[in-house]
Structure 1
């Protein structure tokens, strides 16, 4: 069989429980729902790390954070993957694929080294990072790319406000141009997108609210809500119940708008005749805490289900019948699945002893706090959480702590974790000279996203 075209979409910060494909009562993801009707839906998929940078690096290398070495972007020597670590795109290029990437997130691209192996790459601020020969960028795109740094420095506020619909729409438009341009080509095409409407700050269009039966905001509410939400993300304020409900409405409306863009990508594949025989992977890199847990609690809120449990839907080439898999799935297996589409998704993604998650906290920069590593092992029902300093917790299917008298269950998870960790490889040494200073425009964006205080 010829190598199939591949569409790989990472929905940044999308919680499993807020997608209608997984039972949410609001129709937040109708296009994802339709995809699931003819694809494989993994009911228990877990991120390798509960924030963007290490999670994307894990999916693009098949390695967990402790193996690829990019664990916490502000305490590590470097933000970039070592050159010696093979990226998914490098493997695909060696197999004859043409590759293009379109990223909404500043972590995902040149900053982390995830742009390597792409023939075309467009960064979060619409800078053309890698310019290939498919001519998917218009003259206007190239002019903006050449001037983007000056625009970002001269007009910080528009970057904050417009990174949503303007940037997302532009990236999706360029991706559809790429798919149309390469549809009839002999070499197969790999198309990657990171879309981050579900990552705060939230500026969904009024139509997305009305489609969900929600009250659209006025002109001032989004700015006020996002300012208060950023204070919560940075641990400087609480998220009271009434505000949390409105934040969740903004979150759901953002999902609805993002799903519309996903629908445009899928429809382009159908129009060009590439959909049926393509491999389509849609997944989130992590979830998001929105008031459910104490952000300063122990174990960290980032190890709880709202952050680690993600949607994952895979349409195999030629697949027409829906499947549901309840065995725990690890996203590091996407490297093998995408580089070898003949593999069974279940075989590629299923962990032997449940699914492993690694978290290095804190995630936020400019802090004097020491970094602590936590690991999570889950079998889809129970969740075992352990830190390197010996603190351990076991939660049941209801999310509550398991009684201390359940010693056999605790011992089983301790042994499973020891066995799983023992199979992890040592990370490659990171080159100290590879460190890249953050530009002021990039710093501003990371501050708006809650990564820098």
Structure 2
């Protein structure tokens, strides 16, 4: 069997419960839903870490945060993957793949080292990070890339210009040029995109609201809503029930717009005749807490299902019939799945011990607060959460905390977690790294995204 073309799309911050393929009552993701009708949908997939940086690093290396060492934003670890750990792209490139990446997120690219191994790479601010020979960037794209630093200083990275639809549309358009340019006979291709319309702040277009029978916003509402939402994300205020409901409407409209762009990518694969024999992986890197849980509560809201449970749809080469997998799946298996086209998605992504998650709190922000490591183990029904200082919590199928009377079940989970942790090849407990020096452009964008105050 020839090596398949691979399309790997990460839908940043997409909650599983807001995806219509998983039962949401609004049709937020019609193109993903259609893909799921001829692919494998994992009903119970879990992120390796509940935020962007360590999650992507784990998907691209096949190991967990404590193994690759990229754990949180600034508090005690480096932001970059160690050179000693191969990335998926480097592995595929060594196997003869042509590779291209297009990232909507500042964490995902040269900042973290995820751009290693790519022949083409376009960064979150539309800078051409790695320039190959396929000429996928127009003269205007190149001029913008050359001037992006000056523009960033002048404009302080306004989110309505830099993260919203203009950037998503531009990255998808460049990815479609790449797919068309490499469609002729030649080496197989690996195409990666990170799209982040589901990450606050939200500026979905009017027609996305209308497609969901939602009331479109006026000219001022998006600014006011996102200001309140950023205050909530930073822990300065709560979301009132009516504000939370409107945030969810903006969120759903953003998913609908993003899904349109996903449909564009899939359409190009079909029109170039590559869809049937391609491996297609569509996944979220983590979910999003939008008022369900106290942001200062214990255990952290980041260990709860709205953050750790993600959509995952895989179309293997030649597949045209739907399959549903209920066994817990781990996204670290994407590395093995893409590296070995003969491996079945279930074998690559599902083990016998449930799904494992690592979370280092606080995630980001320059702070002297010590980092606390939390771990989660789920069998798909129960969720066991434990901190490194011994605090432990057990949650039932409905998400409610179980009483201390569930001692036998709690002990079973504790033993299973101890066994899992004992096999991790820890790299994250060595000498603490100095805080990274970031450009003002990246700092400003991370502030707008709620990572920095």
Give the C-alpha shift of residue 406 in structure 1. 1.5
SS in 2 for 1:101: strand
Measured at CA, do residues 235 and 376 of structure 1 come closer, stay the same or move farther in structure 2, by a change above 3 Å? same
Give the C-alpha shift of residue 370 in structure 1. 1.0
Alignment of 1:78-227 (within 5 A): 78-156=78-156, 158-227=158-227
Aligned residue pairs total 453
1:262 aligns with 2:262: yes
Alignment of 1:282-297 (within 5 A): 282-297=282-297
Could you tell me whether the CA contact under 8 Å between 2:160 and 2:203 is conserved in 1?
no
Could you tell me whether the CA contact under 8 Å between 1:446 and 1:452 is conserved in 2?
yes
Give the C-alpha shift of residue 369 in structure 1. 1.5
Measured at CA, do residues 342 and 180 of structure 1 come closer, stay the same or move farther in structure 2, by a change above 3 Å? same
Cα separation, 2, equivalents of 1:323 and 1:222 = 39
Cα separation, 2, equivalents of 1:39 and 1:77 = 38
Give the C-alpha shift of residue 426 in structure 1. 2.2
Equivalent in the alignment of 1:38: 38
Alignment of 1:24-423 (within 5 A): 24-156=24-156, 158-423=158-423
Give the C-alpha shift of residue 364 in structure 1. 2.8
Cα separation, 2, equivalents of 1:366 and 1:137 = 36
Could you tell me whether the CA contact under 8 Å between 2:377 and 2:383 is conserved in 1?
yes
Cα separation, 1, equivalents of 2:193 and 2:430 = 27
SS in 2 for 1:50: coil
Give the C-alpha shift of residue 138 in structure 1. 0.8
SS in 2 for 1:214: coil
SS in 1 for 2:280: strand
After superposition, the C-alpha distances for 1:147-170 in whole angstroms (9 at most, x for unaligned) are 001001101253454421000000
Cα separation, 1, equivalents of 2:76 and 2:53 = 12
Cα separation, 2, equivalents of 1:446 and 1:406 = 42
Could you tell me whether the CA contact under 8 Å between 2:128 and 2:142 is conserved in 1?
yes
Cα separation, 2, equivalents of 1:31 and 1:174 = 20
Cα separation, 2, equivalents of 1:150 and 1:427 = 38
Measured at CA, do residues 120 and 432 of structure 1 come closer, stay the same or move farther in structure 2, by a change above 3 Å? farther
After superposition, the C-alpha distances for 1:202-249 in whole angstroms (9 at most, x for unaligned) are 000000000000000000000010011000000000011000000000
Give the C-alpha shift of residue 352 in structure 1. 2.1
SS in 2 for 1:55: helix
Could you tell me whether the CA contact under 8 Å between 2:287 and 2:308 is conserved in 1?
yes
Could you tell me whether the CA contact under 8 Å between 1:85 and 1:428 is conserved in 2?
no
Give the C-alpha shift of residue 341 in structure 1. 1.6
Cα separation, 1, equivalents of 2:205 and 2:323 = 33
Measured at CA, do residues 260 and 370 of structure 1 come closer, stay the same or move farther in structure 2, by a change above 3 Å? same
- Of residues 156-165 and 263-272 in structure 1, the stretch that sits farther from structure 2 once superposed is 156-165
Give the C-alpha shift of residue 428 in structure 1. 7.2
TM-score by length of 1: 0.98
After superposition, the C-alpha distances for 1:61-118 in whole angstroms (9 at most, x for unaligned) are 0010000000012113421011111000000001000000000000000000000000
Cα separation, 1, equivalents of 2:3 and 2:109 = 25
After superposition, the C-alpha distances for 1:3-27 in whole angstroms (9 at most, x for unaligned) are 0000000000000000000000000
Could you tell me whether the CA contact under 8 Å between 1:80 and 1:434 is conserved in 2?
no
1:437 aligns with 2:437: yes
Cα separation, 2, equivalents of 1:362 and 1:431 = 19
TM-score by length of 2: 0.98
Cα separation, 2, equivalents of 1:218 and 1:434 = 45
After superposition, the C-alpha distances for 1:410-439 in whole angstroms (9 at most, x for unaligned) are 111111111111111122798989975101
